[in-house]
Amino acid sequence: MDDHDHAHKKPLKLAIVLTAIIFVAEVIGGLLSGSLSLLGDSAHMLQDVVALMLSLGAMIIAERLPTPTKTFGYHRVEIAAAVVNGLLLIGVSGIIIWEAIDRFSHPNPVNSTMMLVVAVIGLAANIASAYFLHGSHDLNVKSAFLHVIGDTLSSVAVIAAGVWIAFTGQTFVDPLLGLIIAVVILVSSISILHDAFRILLQFAPKDIAVGDVIAAMESVPGVSGVHNVHFWTLCSNINVLDAHVYCCETDPDTLEQIKAELKHRLEPFRIGHSTLEFECRECEDCRVLRELHD
């Protein structure tokens, strides 16, 4: 591991530790103070602890070489963790929503002082995490930074609710904020599951048009066409391509140049693995598709 990789991992590790501490503190503080918004925010923290760990895990997994029995390495572990995380948080958000609705008709006392103390500590830790993560050009670290910014805004909202309760004694803002946070978690968890299942079902990446990939490949001199294309996602930052390339070039050196240029044209599409089969005669799959099209 070089100094560059260590420089990216260190802020992620610090952010994970700080966010995990906030999560534990908010669970304890929420239970002791009776604050549903703190418990909701702790679920948000849990979501982001997992997100930060996935970002760090993706960097660690990328360093591990494939084996004869694990030809793609451990990249799919990220997706499995995302599914478990999504399902867990849907359950947690459902419980918080149920409790929030019940508290509107049966209000509970809230210790606003404890609520404020825990929320302020959480805000300070989030600001520290944001400071550690800010300025990196690594995509995983950038993603983690955005999660921490969301945590910071959530902590500010909990502090505002605590101040309101302290000055007015009106506790309805606590279940209201808890409900809002739970709905946000529910929506984001469903989004996580949607993206994870797209990857597990080997759909094409949602942010890349297959037609653009084919057009880029067909623009290479010497390539007459591209067909029988399979384009899917291995994990959040690695795409895989399998395609037949119609090319009748016979000179070995020229053919190698075409292959190299094709690989170069695929780089902007984050294609980490590609299998290209060159052919000069129309394959059966291509003929059937052409006849169906005609």
> Which residue among 140, 166, 200 closes a domain?
200
Q: Do 195 and 219 have their domain in common?
A: no
pTM across the whole model = 0.73
CATH number for 127: 1.20.1510.10
Give the type of residue at 293: H
Q: Do 48 and 9 have their domain in common?
A: yes
Q: Do 136 and 173 have their domain in common?
A: yes
Is 242 contained in some domain?
Answer: yes
Give residue 65's pLDDT.
67
Q: Do 59 and 179 have their domain in common?
A: yes
In terms of Cβ atoms closer than 10 Å to its own Cβ (0-12, 13-18, 19+), residue 106 is exposed
d(CA 27, CA 45): 10
Q: Do 218 and 179 have their domain in common?
A: no
Crossing angle between the packed helical segments 173-200 and 77-105, to the nearest 10 degrees: 160
> Which residue among 175, 200, 225 closes a domain?
200
- Cα separation values, 108 from 13, 36, 101, Å: 37, 10, 12
Q: How many CA atoms lie within 13 A of 238 on its CB side?
A: 16
Domain membership of residue 278 as a residue range: 210-293
Q: Do 127 and 250 have their domain in common?
A: no
Q: Do 142 and 15 have their domain in common?
A: yes
| Cβ-based neighbour number of residue 200 at 10 Å | 15
In terms of Cβ atoms closer than 10 Å to its own Cβ (0-12, 13-18, 19+), residue 197 is middle
Is 233 contained in some domain?
Answer: yes
Whose tokens are 């451990």? That residue is 74
d(CA 208, CA 270): 10
Number of domains forming the structure of the chain: 2
Q: Do 152 and 60 have their domain in common?
A: yes
Give residue 1's pLDDT.
45
d(CA 184, CA 199): 23
Is 166 contained in some domain?
Answer: yes
Give residue 232's pLDDT.
92
d(CA 205, CA 289): 23
Q: What angle do CA 86, 89, 94 make, to 5 degrees?
A: 125
Q: Do 80 and 174 have their domain in common?
A: yes
d(CA 131, CA 119): 18
CATH number for 251: 3.30.70.1350
Is 40 contained in some domain?
Answer: yes
Give the single-character DSSP code of 220: S
**10, 125 contact by CB (below 8 A):** no
**Could you list the pLDDT tens digit for every one of the 294 residues in the chain?**
444 455 667 878 888 888 899 899 999 999 999 998 888 888 888 888 887 887 787 777 766 767 777 777 777 777 887 888 788 888 888 888 998 898 888 888 889 899 999 999 988 888 888 888 777 665 556 667 777 887 888 888 899 999 999 899 888 899 999 898 888 888 888 888 888 898 889 999 988 999 999 999 999 998 988 988 999 988 777 899 999 999 888 888 898 999 999 999 998 998 888 889 988 875 555 555 555 555
Q: Do 216 and 268 have their domain in common?
A: yes
| Cβ-based neighbour number of residue 153 at 10 Å | 10
Three-class DSSP category at 103: helix
Is 24 contained in some domain?
Answer: yes
Q: Do 143 and 253 have their domain in common?
A: no
Reference 63, options 12, 4, 13; nearest CA is 4
| Cβ-based neighbour number of residue 138 at 10 Å | 19
Q: Do 190 and 222 have their domain in common?
A: no
> Which residue among 142, 170, 200 closes a domain?
200
Is 205 contained in some domain?
Answer: no
